[in-house]
Structure 1
Amino acid sequence: MKTTGAVAANGGGGLLTDNEAKSGSRVTLVDAIRGFCLFGILQANMLIFQYGLIGTEFFALFQATALDQKAYNWLEVLVAGSFLPIFMFLYGYSLVKLRNGLLAKGRKPWRSLVRRFVLLLMIGGLHSYFFWDGDILFLYGLISFGLLLFIRCKPRTLFIWATSMMLLLGGLDLLGNLIESPDDQPKEDRLKQEEYVKRSIPVFQTGSYNEIVQFRDKEDPLDMDDFELAAVAILSPVMLLPMFLFGMAAAGTALFRHPQRERRKYLLWGLVFGSIGGALKFFSVFSIFGVKLAGSSIIGGPMLAMGYLFLAALLLSSLRPASIVLRAFQAVGKLSMSNYLMQTFICTTLFYGYGFGWFGKLGVVPGILLGLLIYALLAAASDLWLRKLPFAGPFEYILRAGTYWSISGKMKPKEIVKQETPPNLLF
């Protein structure tokens, strides 16, 4: 993998000048953090690949062991809901970098950004319908249009908006849980969901590709009516917005551009956010003196994500540029979209009936080990790809070609300026 002199001199983080920061130049440390996050996303998604969207709530139907249940509980604390928020943060961060890069090349950013968002919607829709219902690309594309309303805001304004929204959403969720416990779910709804899981097992284990696509298209695991579906479609982007805004705010500051100077900050914030977020998530999964804070994961998940984010920045910026670990994470991060989609193609082939049919058979702990193996293979393949073709992966090329309206996938400046490597916008 090629690195710039600045990166090589600064532990892979890259020490950027003010002009580079304004132009949207790539922050290599962010690539490495993004690659680290893809590992966590894969481990969280392994549960969905193995059991479906709600199958883990009915472990008894899969003959799960006590070890499976314990491993699942700890994945809920340490992984689920605490890596996707990092991706949201990095997406917001990279969105601002991309806009700055377009402005620095003398281009108006709006058309380029809208084209990119439309491509995300298209790729996400195809991915969701034809392969896997855990897709996030479509949602990213949808939220992106809302982010345009904030893209000119100052970092302080973005931080205030994000903090206020997160506290409001967390408070509303906590209030809802005080009024009505999640354990009070109507038995009728619970039985419908259980019946769905029972029907899904033979389809995903032995069904053909067409049978699985048709089942996913026609069956609703949550059994929601049109009004409920519309409410989810409207509220979901709003609930996810704060982490995107935090990332946009960070891009307007010097965060991650001078890792050698910021290590104490990474350590302090990592420990503070990680401890508070981890405690909140722990109490949302495990009962303490018979009390479980069901709604605390709404705030706990993003807070633990911020802890992971800063601790990852601390550790990755401490590694030598030639470190295999750093290179692996950077390679996966630079090809983030291609790797995300490859995870789907590999895992659906392993677990669905048109492939190996392992759905519901492997177990949680073996699934964790399998996730490690898949990630290692993807990291090795990504590093090899970047050695041969350092520009972009196949899906990154599609996004860049559409964004810059260029067959080469490279931005064409309106005026003669020093060429910079286009920033890698997550997905």
Structure 2
Amino acid sequence: MKRRISTIDGLRGFSLLGILIANMLIFQYGIFGKDSPEHFQLSSPDTVAYVWTKIFVEGSFLPIFMFLFGYSLIKLKEKLERNQLKVKRHLVRRFLLFFAFGLFHSIFIWEGDILGAYSLIGFLMLLFINRKKKTLLVWAIVLFVLTSLMGFGEIEQTEKDIQLMESYILEETEAYSSDRYADAFAFRQSGELPFDLPEFFYVLMLVLTPLLIAPLTLLGMYAAKRNWFTNPKQERKWYIRGAMGFGITGLLLKSSHYIIHDPSWTEGAYSIGAIFLALGYIFGFAILYTKEAGKFLSSFEKVGQLSLTNYLTQSIICTVIFYGYGLGLFAKMGVFLGILLAFVIFVLQIVFSQLYLKCFRTGPFEKIMRIGSYFSLKGQVKQKRRKKESAA
């Protein structure tokens, strides 16, 4: 049990590093500007770093987080059941807290929030929480196939679309380069988007978002019910096969986006490749637990134990560095130096996590989640004891 938890915590810390590297593009160039590097005249080293990030990182670490979310969901359910507590009641409170954190994060700190998606997918997963292993796997595969098919096909940009995007990126750069926090806040709340689409489309996207990220969450739930990662040494051969098969396939599919210039095919291939590469990373990282890796793995585990705190801290640090009301480096540092900065921040988070966990058992934001989920000021599960056990 201890080893299984260590593997999951380590994976969570590893995924936080990848998410930070990917988010560096958004922190520096904006949530839409990151996909339009031509507007920022990148240098040759930055162009190489940009393509590297797109192939090896972007889109392949958030799925790991979703896989771990599903895995932890089942383990939390089992824990609540052992203590004879109402499972769905506790989970609903937990998802509402995720939504509250995500809302606060996206409004006051940064628009690239993923906690809101956590809450949406959590509520959807309540439909699957008591399903059998096979059912979870079938639904994961079916939804993966359906959502992947949505990525194929070319959407031609009109001259108006191009002008809207250019205007949006210009306004975004101006707002986030301003030395007034109010300007960045106002831009986030403006609701302006670089698309000329009917209102129902945005409602449709809100409905579809949980379905798009559901496959990895369902797979994580399946993995938890199958007790994956509980016996790393015995499972080593499966880790190697998964890392090689999914990893290589994922890299080839994602790379095709930059080799074959055919958007009608490569956009869908890139999305599928991102998921495959995420699975490759999961199995590849798990291989490390088949041997003693000491402090190296422990460092990732400590960060993973404070995942919510470290995730929110990353947003605060990076917005202060890049936005005008901080150091004002928006669109100025460059992709390559941004990657190096991500590693520096992550190392600092390793040091912080290690020092913090020597004094406290739970991170500050994790503590709030536990208090709200369990309705306990101590943030602990309230154990219900039967009369027989009390009498004994």
User: TM-score, normalising length from structure 2?
Assistant: 0.95
State the distance in 2 between where 1:112 and 1:394 align: 19
Alignment of 1:14-413 (within 5 A): 14=4, 27-174=5-152, 177=153, 181-182=154-155, 184-223=156-195, 224-287=197-260, 293-320=266-293, 323-389=294-360, 391-413=361-383
Q: Post-superposition shift, 1:62?
A: 2.5
Q: Post-superposition shift, 1:219?
A: 4.7
Say which is worse superposed, 281-290 or 118-127, in terms of deviation: 281-290
State the distance in 2 between where 1:141 and 1:271 align: 32
Amino acid at match of 1:383: Q
CA spacing shift, 1:351–1:300, aligned 2, 3 Å: same
Q: Post-superposition shift, 1:190?
A: 1.6
Query: Helix, strand or coil: the match of 2:260?
Result: coil
Amino acid at match of 1:342: T
State the distance in 2 between where 1:161 and 1:401 align: 33
Aligned length: 386
Gaps of at least 5 residues in structure 2 are 387-392
State the distance in 2 between where 1:294 and 1:192 align: 22
Amino acid at match of 2:237: R
Deviation string for 1:377-397 (max 9, x for gaps)?
A: 0111011111111x2100000
State the distance in 1 between where 2:175 and 2:135 align: 49
Q: Post-superposition shift, 1:288?
A: 6.7
CA spacing shift, 1:289–1:158, aligned 2, 3 Å: closer
User: TM-score, normalising length from structure 1?
Assistant: 0.87
Amino acid at match of 2:166: E
Preserved contact between residue 46 and residue 368 of structure 1 (Cα < 8 Å)? yes
- Aligned counterpart, 1:21: none
Q: Post-superposition shift, 1:291?
A: 9.2
Query: Helix, strand or coil: the match of 1:355?
Result: coil
Q: Post-superposition shift, 1:185?
A: 1.3
State the distance in 1 between where 2:123 and 2:385 align: 28
Gaps of at least 5 residues in structure 1 are 1-5, 8-12, 15-26, 417-427
Alignment RMSD = 1.8
